[in-house]
Amino acid sequence: MTEPRKLAAEATGPLKGIRILDLTSVVFGAYATQMLGDQGAEVIKLEDPGSGRGDGGDIMRWAGHVPKDTPRDLGPIFLAINRNKRSVLVDMKDTKSRPLIEALIKSCEVFATSIRYDGLKRLGLAYEDVKAIRPDVVYVHAAGYGSEGPYAGEPAYDDLIQSASGLADLLPRTDGNPTPRILPSLIADKVSGLFMCQAITAGLLHRERTGEGQFIEVPMLECVTSFTLVEHLYDHTYEPPTGQWAYQRVANPNRKPYQTKDGYIGLLPYTDKQWDQFFAAAGWGETFGKDPRFSDYSTRGKHINELYALVGEVTQTKTTDEWLDLLKPLSIPIVKTARLDDLPNDPHLQAVGFFERHEHPHAGPYNVMKPPVKFTGSPSNIRRHAPRLGENTAEVRAEMGLKDD
């Protein structure tokens, strides 16, 4: 077992010196603020004790299975997206909490929240309220739906947004089964989190240039629909449409890892030369070269389903290693298909130190994925483990000049 990594002593990332007041939870907002924390921002996470039902705080604290004798508020997903944060437990409905909240707002360049906007108004934390306390604040609202549409204010979770954005219609267009299906990943939450992260950094750049803060809305439905339709608006880009919805090469039942004699490979010849080389290497060059369906890029695109089906037949004639040895020297894009279980032993991920083992003072040893983006001049780092619920309340109150309750 590898030795646990030591936490970095101080921030070195490009956002060092930026402070974020984080009123987000679950995955969407929390994923965004962790990325910013990795990049050097100081993130103070406000968590509410709740209504008395359940355990309070971010609900992701309670998802998943923790090791024996580990506190229940350190669930695996929470650990994955809440490092580099401090947790302050505060009842935002209690007027006694107002001095702390206002002091934190004054100290933070960014106010990030995923609370529904009507709820923020009731709490006295709408944009105008926060702006009155800190005029140059970058106020970022993670919403389900844009405020100008009829869905504004409705609850939104990954399942709902996948359903509403067209994402659940992709598999039916691929395999002919008309039943809409949700992809088994929190795609909507994580994609929206990436949009939110970028929006915050853009808002900070605007503030740096002008001295002005602003209200920024990051609506999940619009973000995920935009993400989905980059390729799948396809021939409906034109008016009138020139063809179908969905990019044909991608919405293809034969676009998948290809079976070999002993496993699976990811394979994508792309240019005319690469296709010729692939089928020549397979011993099918003569047949392929004479087939008018595959003569050039445009023609292949019209027959992509048949082409990928043919590839699926060819790949079964050799082992995975035989294909890798044969095609890599030709610079034909190919990889061995990994199962989740394979990832910790993947030679590339091992070489770049992707997985790190850390020692949480309350949860013991655990694995994290290091920040994946590489900054050569201002590297991201991990300085704090994900906090216990309210772990930093007293120290933050003291920093704000307030006596502990």
**pLDDT tens track of the chain, all 405 residues?**
578 999 999 999 999 999 999 999 999 999 999 999 999 999 999 999 975 445 789 999 999 999 999 999 999 999 999 999 999 999 999 999 999 999 999 999 999 999 999 999 999 999 999 999 999 999 999 999 999 999 999 999 999 999 999 999 999 999 999 999 999 999 999 999 999 999 999 999 999 999 999 999 999 999 999 999 999 999 999 999 999 999 999 999 999 999 999 999 999 999 999 999 998 988 888 878 788 898 888 888 888 999 999 999 999 999 999 999 999 999 999 999 999 999 999 999 999 999 999 999 999 999 999 999 999 999 999 999 999 999 999 999 999 999 865
6 close to 96: Cβ distance less than 8 angstroms: no
SS3 187: helix
Q: What is the DSSP letter of 85?
A: E
Q: Where are the domains of the chain?
A: 19-228+347-399, 258-336
Nearest by Cα to 137 from 105, 98, 113, 114: 105
Q: Are 196 and 29 in contact (CB under 8 A)?
A: yes
Q: Return the structure tokens found at 348.
A: 């590339």
**Encoded tokens for 132:** 């009155």
Q: How many CB atoms lie within 10 A of CB 334?
A: 20
Q: What gap in Å lies between CA 289 and CA 282, rounded to an integer?
A: 13
Q: Which amino acid, 7?
A: L
Rounded to whole angstroms, the Cα distance separating 381 from 377 reads 12
Tokens of 75: 């669930």
- Tens-digit pLDDT profile for residues 68-82: 999 999 999 999 999
Please tell me the distance from the alpha carbon of residue 370 to that of residue 189, in angstroms, as a whole number. Answer: 20
Contact 40, 16 (CB under 8 A): yes
- Structure tokens that stand for 383 in this block: 């300085």
Q: Which CATH class is domain 19-228+347-399?
A: alpha beta
Per-residue pLDDT at 286: 80
CATH superfamily of 258-336: formyl-coa transferase, domain 3 (3.30.1540.10)
Closest CA to 26 of 65, 66, 70, 61: 61
Per-residue tokens: 102: 């206002």
Q: Name the residue among 355, 329, 352 with its Cα closest to residue 342.
A: 355
Query: Residue 116 in 3-state DSSP?
Result: coil
In angstroms, the Cα distances linking 323 to 264, 290, 311, 319, 332 are 10, 23, 12, 6, 10
Q: Is the pTM of this model over 0.85?
A: yes
pLDDT at 405: 59
Q: What is the pLDDT of residue 79?
A: 97
| Burial classification of residue 385, based on how many CB atoms lie within 10 Å of its CB (0-12 exposed, 13-18 middle, 19 or more buried) | buried
Q: By C-alpha distance, which of 28, 36, 49, 29 is closest to 389?
A: 49
Number of C-beta neighbours around residue 210 at 10 A? 10
Counting beta carbons within 10 angstroms of the beta carbon of residue 103, is it exposed (0 to 12), middle (13 to 18) or buried (19 or more)?
middle
User: Phi, psi at residue 71, to the nearest 5°?
Assistant: -55, 140
Three-state secondary-structure class, residue 258: strand
Assign 77 to helix, strand or coil: helix
State the pLDDT at residue 77: 97
Q: Where are the beta strands (DSSP E) in 28-183?
A: 42-47, 85-89, 110-113, 138-143
Q: Distance of alpha carbon 257 from its chain centroid, rounded?
A: 23
Sequence-ordered list of residues with C-beta below 8 angstroms from that of 288, at least 6 positions apart, any chain? 275, 276, 279, 294, 310
Which bin fits 63, alpha (ψ -120 to 50), beta or left (φ > 0)? beta
φ, ψ at 204 (rounded to 5°): -70, -35
Contact 355, 369 (CB under 8 A): yes
Give the phi and the psi of residue 45 in degrees, each rounded to 5: -95, 115
